[in-house]
Amino acid sequence: MTGSSRDPRDAKSASARCGSGDPCFMPAKAFSMVKDPSLLAAMPLLPFVVGLLGGVPLVARELEARTAQTAWSLFPSRASWLARQLAPVALVLGPGVALAAFAAGPVAADRAAWGWSASLDLGLHGPLVLIRAFAAFGIGLFTGAVVGRALPAFLLGAALCFSLLTATGLVRDAWRAGLAPVVIGEAPPAGGEVVVAPRSITTGYEWRAPDGKRISFQEARRIATAAGVPLPRANDSQDVAAAVWLDAHGYRLLIVGITDEMALGWASYDAAIFGAVGLISLPTAFWLVRRRRP
Amino acid sequence: MGTTDGWSDRRSARPTRADQATRGAGLLYLLWDRLVRRWAAALLHRWPVNTPWRASKRAQSVREESVLDTVPLRIEGFGRRYKRNRPWAVRNASFTLPKGSITALVGPNGAGKSTLIRSCIGFERPDEGRVLVFGVDPSRAPATVVRNVGYVPQTASLYRGLSIADHLTIAAAARQAFDRSSAIAQLAAVGLAPTRMVGELSGGEQAQVALALALGTRSQLLLLDEPLASLDPLARRDFLARLVVDVRAGGATAVLSSHIVGDVEQVCDHLVVLGDGQVILDSPIERAKAEYSTIRASETAGQDAVGFFSGPHGEQLALIRSAQSGSATLEEVVLGHLASVRRSRAEAA
């Protein structure tokens, strides 16, 4: 009752179950290859590592090696000096990250074709990777300008990126919880196999009454209790007796959740959060460099 | 057939995968930093200088310079402390540099010489008072000040991974007025070829490069923060000789901080003594020498002694104001004034 038979999370076990002579062997093996590609496995970290490695040393190394004294005494404008430092790094790293981000696109599309929820790959390919790298670059530049030493600034930047990622994840979960769930699957009568719409995320269960009205699990239990169905024992978490009674009286179990289209709505918020962090940290770093002692 | 010599042991101790990975990551970072990042930066600094954007900047610079004050450096009640509950690094310092002078800023370690010099280029912000460079406050208009100031830091702070020529290129990109050929000629005079890497140079040679960069900017005010500290006596003499020739030829003004009085006496015409974070003497050198005399400490009865200090043979000497032409050397003038600060500090304690 937890998902379709094409759930990619079952791929490894399916692959293991299929013997080399079975007809399922080749598809299962093919899926195992697209499920965990190394490129996508690296994508959660890549924009942050690249952004920090590019951003931190720009100011921190100059302050650490005291070369900032020479540079800032020669360049009338520290902003123009920093822009000159920043430009070649952005010119090298930007296209590099973009290449990896867009190369990961088809890989993610392959996974989605197998029923994998595309929203789970959000931020692992496409423009969001670039925006995350931009945010990490801004954070790196900022921590470098604050700390003035490369290694501590890198560690602080990594901690800030991790906190940002965790906080964004929490906000995303809260946002998802606020979405009105839709029916993504319905149990057929007489206990057949439940088929859940592909690329969807299950958030709960409901019942459909014989008159077509959706009722909550608790409400359905109250109806069953009123009809004399005994309350479940402590070890009966699935409340089998109520389920059997409801099924026999025309009620249908519904699997509710959010579809991929709904979950992908987070992409714009994700881009806004990381973009805002980049847009704030970058000018702040410029401001700090203008005010800082070399 | 096993051998026990160290060489065989070293050969048999193969690096682990972790070692190889660490070394690989280190090499990759080095490759990125030294080749890609530095190379790209050096390439960008060669960007053509005559762009319309630069032309407008140049026009702005000319407009700004036309309103500059003629007094190169004026310090008014300057005070700076690095932490709220710490003693002041410099306090209540006031003096004005005459145009075209070479001023020696002398004082013991920790007197606040570097703080004062760094504040003149906007590297430090005053907590009290103000600094005016050609009438402009560096903390309010740093770009205008930096454009008119050449600075040599206490320790030569050059890019070790770049050549001398790369430094000249960076300086030329930063300052339109930078005289690259004169800088090359100056460096050639001390035997430094532009192709040499800065990382291979001695401390003294790096100081020469830093001076060539500062002089090449053709700035009207030169700030030299103890540039002689890392030089041997011969290099010191060369350094000062080149400084004097260049400053006098360009009609510039220079401030040279040092705690070695003998060095600055040869080239400077003005003296500012800092002690305990305060200006204790601000005078032309010739006048300072003329106004003071040194006598034995035992002969000071009835005379107002500025300070007492030990002579070269261990005898106690006193610096006094002389009515007629004085006989004190510059070193004695400085020592006497520093001793007076020490005495007043002891009395206060």
Interface residue B40 vs chain A (CB under 8 A): yes
Q: Are B257 and B169 contained in the same domain? A: yes
- Region B305-322: mean pLDDT is 82
Predicted confidence (pLDDT) at residue B311 exceeds the cutoff of 70: yes
Q: State the alpha helices, DSSP H only, in B121-274.
A: 142-147, 164-174, 180-189, 203-216, 233-250, 261-267
- Same domain for A233 and A138: no
Question: Which pLDDT value is given to residue B1?
Answer: 40
Q: Are residues B269 and B294 in the same domain?
A: no
Structural domain harbouring A196: 182-260
- Can you give the pLDDT at residue B325? 63
Q: What is the DSSP string of B18-82?
A: HHHHHHHHHHHHHIIIIIIIHHHHHHHHTS-S--HHHHHHHHHHHHHHHT--S-SEEEEEEEE-S
Structure-model confidence comparison of residues B155 and A285, the more confident one: A285
Residues A32 and A15: their CA atoms lie apart, in Å, by 7
Give the count of beta carbons closer than 10 Å to the beta carbon of residue B191: 9
Whether residue B241 sits in one domain with residue B133: yes
Supply A52's token pair: 């920090």
Q: Are B270 and B287 contained in the same domain?
A: no
Query: Which residue is it, tokens 């610079």?
Result: B61
Cβ distance of B32 and A53 shorter than 8 Å: yes
Q: 10-69 in A: which are within 8 Å (CB) of B?
A: 53, 57, 61, 65-69
Closest Cα in chain B, distance from residue A47 (Å): 16
A287 in contact with B, Cβ within 8 Å: no
Alpha-carbon gap: A145 to the closest alpha carbon of chain B (Å): 15
Question: Would the pLDDT of A1 be above 70?
Answer: no
Shared-domain flag, residues B199 and B337: no
CB-based contact, A167 to chain B, within 8 Å: no
Of B121, B119, B114, nearest to B151 (Cα)?
Answer: B121
Q: Which range is least confidently modeled, A97-106, A109-118, B199-208?
A: A109-118
Helical pair A266-291 and A78-113, crossing angle rounded to 10 deg: 160
User: Is the CB of B68 inside 8 Å of chain A's CB atoms?
Assistant: no
- Within a domain: residue B152? yes
Q: Mark which of B275, B305, B330 sits at the end of a domain.
A: B275
Please name the residues in contact with A4: beta carbons below 8 A apart, sequence gap of 6 or more: A115, A195, A196, A198
Judgement on whether residues A159 and A69 belong to the same structural domain of the protein: yes
Pair (B270, B289) in one structural domain = no
**Do both A145 and A215 map to the same domain?**
no
Distance from CA of B145 to the nearest CA of A (A): 8
Q: Is the pLDDT of residue B232 over 90?
A: no
Measured at the CA of A38, the angle between CA A151 and CA A17, to 5 degrees, comes to 140
- Contact status, residue B271 vs residue B133, Cβ threshold 8 Å: no
By the 8 A CB rule, do B318 and B305 touch? yes
Structural domain contains residue B145 = yes
Residues A153 and A93 in one domain: yes
Identity of the amino acid at A168: T
Interval A154-182 mean pLDDT: 93
Q: Are residues B259 and B314 in the same domain?
A: no
Based on the domain organization, do B229 and B124 belong to the same domain? yes
Task: Name the residue type at position A256.
Answer: V
CA distance A96 to A129: 11
Residue ending a domain, choose from B240, B255, B275: B275
Nearest CA of chain A to the CA of B215: how many Å?
11
Inside any domain, residue B133: yes
> Looking at residue B264, what is its pLDDT?
84
Considering the domain architecture, whether residues B157 and B241 belong to the same structural domain is answered as yes
Q: What angle do CA A255, A260, A261 make, to 5 degrees?
A: 115
Report the number of distinct structural domains present in chain A: 3
Of A4 and A151, more confident: A151
Indicate the number of domains in chain B: 2
Give the residue numbers spanning the domain of B184: 73-275
- Assigned domain for B57 exists: no
Subunit contact B159:A74, Cβ cutoff 8 A: no
A191 with A281, same domain: the answer is no
Tell me the chain A residues in contact with residue B171 when contact means C-beta distances shorter than 8 Å.
74
Residue of A nearest to B149 (CA): A73
Amino acid at the residue A26: M
**pLDDT tens digits, B1-45:** 444 444 444 444 455 666 666 667 666 766 666 666 666 656 655
pLDDT class for A15, splitting at 50, 70, 90? very low
For residue B173, the chain A residues in CB contact (below 8 A) are 84
Distance CA A160, CA A166 (A): 10
Domain of B131, CATH number, reads: 3.40.50.300
Domain identity same for B188 and B289? no
Pairing between strand B102-106 and B253-258? parallel
Same domain, A149 and A212: no
> Is residue B135 in a domain?
yes
- pLDDT the model gives residue A11: 46
Residue B71 has pLDDT above 50, yes or no: yes
B173 & B87 share domain: yes
Chains A, B: CB contacts under 8 A, how many? Answer: 79
What share of chain B has pLDDT > 70, as a percent? 79
Question: Does residue B58 lie in a domain region?
Answer: no
Q: What is the pLDDT of residue A167?
A: 96
Same domain, A248 and A122: no
Return mean pLDDT, chain B. Answer: 81
In this structure, are B173 and B231 located in the same domain?
yes
Residue B126 predicted with pLDDT over 50: yes
Query: Is there a contact between B210 and A293 if contact means CB atoms under 8 Å apart?
Result: no
Interface pTM (ipTM) of the complex?
Answer: 0.78
Under DSSP, the state recorded for B86 is: S
Residue A99: the pLDDT is 92
Whether residue B168 lies inside any domain: the answer is yes
